[in-house]
Structures are given as C-alpha cells and as structure tokens.
Structure 1
Amino acid sequence: MATTTPTPAPTVTWNIDPAHSSAEFKVKHMMISNVKGSFNGITGTLTEDPADPTRSQVEASIDISTLATGDAQRDAHLKSPDFFHHEQHPTMTFKSTKVEKKGEGEYSVIGDLTVHGATKPVTFAVEGPSAPGKDPWGNTRIGLSATTKINRKDFGLSWNAALETGGILVGEDVQITLEIQFIKA
C-alpha cells in the first residue's frame, strides 16, 4: 500500500511598505515623563502560512539614521557612540523564531532582536494581520500592530547621567510600538 505525504499549503510573501509603516519608542526622562521617538525606513518580509499562522515567519530591518525625536541635538546624541553608534551599527533587525496564537487576531511573535550589535530574544504582542484589501493601484495589502518592552541595557545602550536630586536621566525600559503595512509580493 502506497502512502502519500500531504502537500503543505502554499505560503504567501508580503513585503513591508516603508512609506506606510512606523516604529515608535518611548522611554522615561528624568523619571518624570516619557520622551517619544520614531524610526522610518522599515524593510522586511512576512512569509505567511494562511492555513497555520503559527508557522509564519517575519524578518525586518530598521535604518538607525532615520531616528527622530523632534530635537536635533537629542537625535545626534542618540545616534552617537553613547547610544546606537549608527556609524558602526547602521541597522537594527528582528527575525522571528516562533509564533503563538493568543486569541482571535492576536499572536505572540518571539524572535531575535539585534540592536547595537547585541542579539536578544524578545516577544512582540501582535494584533492582526488585518483582512487583505486592495489599494487603488491593484496591490493587495494587510496591516498589523505590535508592541514589546525591552531593557536598553540588555543591548549595550547603557549611557546615563545621575540626577542631582537622585535617580537617572534616561530610563532603562523602552516601550516599542510598530504599525506595519505589507504589500503582497
């Protein structure tokens, strides 16, 4: 008796649309309020398994030189060797290693985040992807939102200054929020 191996369902490749995607962060400043910033220039792909989304994979890269906080002096300091050292580490990257379904349209995407030359596992809470839709030019698009929190010191971003009143100038925990739109390849 011959046995047949089931044919795996085809995957769908989606490319990140950098013009309609953003990466934002916030970190405590002087232990009293949050300072926000963003990155543009996000690139990457989602290889989606529509039959079993937990077998999907994502890879993304962000250009450090696109960092913007609304203050040119702060931006220059963040890009300097004190923090990101963008000349030596021009990108940060993420590559998923596991996807877990948490609920309807909710996933945990676990993977390796590389920042400033250091790679650490992180987990993103993901909402989406949305249902596919056509844009006016005939492209099929989907979108998702993702959040995580990291400790910047885990990635070698340890510069800080002590405050005269006690405490530190820059908090260690960084909240990251992604809004990503994909175009079907």
Structure 2
Amino acid sequence: MRNLRYVLLAGLLGTALSAQADPVSYKLDPGHTMVLFSWSHFGFSHPVADIGITDGTLVFDEKNPSKASVEVTMPLSNLDTHVPALDKHLKEPDFFNADKYPTITFKSTGVKPLGGKKYKVMGDLTVHGVTKPVVLDATLNNVGPHPMTGQQAIGFNATGMIKRSDFGLGAYVPKVSDEIQINITTEGSVPKAGQQ
C-alpha cells in the first residue's frame, strides 16, 4: 500500500511539473521578422515601410493559448521605406522624432483564441511617446522542431490597423491617410542553453 502511495505521489508531482512546463518562451528572430506598415499617398500609391525588431519574446502554451504573451522592441534606426529621403523625413520631428523617441514598443495585454489557429491579440503600442491599445488578428503558422536547427520554434502572421493621428503623427492628414495598415510575420525559437 505504501508503494502505491509513492507511485501516486510521483505521478501527481510529474503531472504538476509537466503542467507548469507547458508555456514555452521563444526569442523572436530579427532576421525572420518583418513589421510592415503601409498608407495611402494622396490616393495615388500605397507605400510600404519595414521597421523590424531588435528584441522580442513570445510565451506560448499550446494547451492554453489565452495565456500567451508577446513583447517586442522596434528601433526607428531600422526604418526602411526603400527611399532614403523618405526614411530621413519620417525620422524628423514632424513625424516619428526618432532622436527623442528612438523605439516603438508593443506589449500584449491579452490573447483571445478564435478557433483553429486564429487569435485576437490585444496590447499596448507605444509610438512617439504615446501609448494606445491596439488589436491584432494573428494566425499561428507553425510550431514544433525547426528542420534546420532542431530547436523548438514558432511562427505567426498578424495584421492590424491604427490611426497615426492617435500617436501625434497627423501630418498631411487626410491627403496622406490617417489609417496605417500593419502586416507582421515573425518566427522565433527556444534559445539554446547559455543563450539569452
């Protein structure tokens, strides 16, 4: 009877430990992450810019995705419109004012599973020193061992829309659209031992 108690206790401990181990922390890969935003330019074109990330962490539990979280930092030094003069202009005080506000950050506040691989990700976006709530529509692309490295990996796409005037970036509205469309693709992996 005592042996049975030990077996049951060991089983309960194992279950508890495995339940605690379910959330997995991924480091997002700047080399496989694009944060694209686009706008209407006087109704004639829809330019696209990429800002990317320098640092990002995603915590994801496949069994309980509502407890997922994500936090990223996007440096304006990486801003790339493919037009150097526009890159320079967007960093000036009438737009991002990159000298004073060198980064954009996003920190999730909640995740709502929608079924399948679809999620609503709510979070706080800080741009130009202003923090506003935003909602992203996210799709889980893949999760599992990466075929190149063997490390546990994850990949998402996400879309959203913001009004730049909400962040004090209203120059040329409405001729240049207030609405900014955001498209994100990212992947990350569990860091190897000794990596941060």
Quick check: TM above 0.5? yes
Indicate whether 1:183 and 2:178 are aligned: no
> What stretches of structure 2 of length at least 5 have no aligned partner?
1-11, 192-196
Kept in 1, the 8 Å contact 2:35–2:53? The answer is no
TM-score (norm 2): 0.84
AA aligned to 2:98 is: H
Kept in 2, the 8 Å contact 1:109–1:125? The answer is yes
2:73 corresponds to which of 54, 61, 67: 61
Select between 127-136 and 93-102 the one with higher mean Cα deviation: 127-136
Indicate whether 1:131 and 2:137 are aligned: no
Corresponding residue for 1:172? 178
The structure with the greater share of residues assigned to helix is 2
Aligned residues: 175
State the SS of the aligned residue for 1:19. helix
* Structure showing greater relative contact order (alpha-carbon pairs closer than 8 Å, 6 or more residues apart): 1
State the SS of the aligned residue for 1:40. coil
Partner deviation per Cα, 1:14-37 (whole Å, 9 max, x = no partner):
000001111101000012321111
Kept in 2, the 8 Å contact 1:123–1:148? The answer is yes
State the SS of the aligned residue for 2:178. strand
User: How large is the Cα RMSD of the aligned pairs?
Assistant: 1.7
> What stretches of structure 1 of length at least 5 have no aligned partner?
162-166
Shift of 1:60: 0.7
Shift of 1:129: 4.7
Partner deviation per Cα, 1:102-136 (whole Å, 9 max, x = no partner):
12000000010001100000000000051213242
The structure that has the greater radius of gyration is: 2
Corresponding residue for 1:43? 55
Distance of 2:20 and 2:187 partners within structure 1 = 24
The structure with the greater share of residues assigned to strand is 1
> What does residue range 16-165 of structure 1 map to in structure 2 within 5 Å?
16-160=28-172
Shift of 1:138: 3.0
Distance of 1:183 and 1:72 partners within structure 2 = 33
Shift of 1:141: 1.7
Indicate whether 1:15 and 2:27 are aligned: yes
